[in-house]
Amino acid sequence: MRCALLGLPATALILTAVSAAPALAEPPAPPSTATARQELATLTVAAPHSMDGYARDKFDIWSSQPDGCTTRQTVLARDGKDVQDKPGSCQPSSGS
């Protein structure tokens, strides 16, 4: 019984790793103009605040992916149209 209980966490870890593959679904379609306007009208715009103390380098917003590209570069290549990278890099050089 003890071996079975010890095996459960290992099995859970393996199943989590296998199921953590990247999603290949297409992004959702944008909302209609009427829906977008209605939702935007409900937003509250706050007054601008001081940027004192803010440092962009404190935030790793474009984390690296297993292939060495950043999340931003991966999404641009996935969702863009006719995206071409600079030779030998993941940095897009053209496309829309």
Give the model's pLDDT for residue 16: 58
pLDDT in tens, 6-64: 555 665 556 555 555 566 788 889 999 999 999 999 999 999 999 898 888 887 777 88
> In sequence order, what are the beta bridge partners of 84?
94
Output 72 or 21, whichever has higher pLDDT.
72
Full DSSP string of the chain: -HHHHHHHHHHHHHHHHHHTPPP-PPPPPPPPHHHHHHHHHTPPPPPP---TT--GGG---SPBPTTS-BHHHHHHHHHSSS-EEPTTSS-EEE--
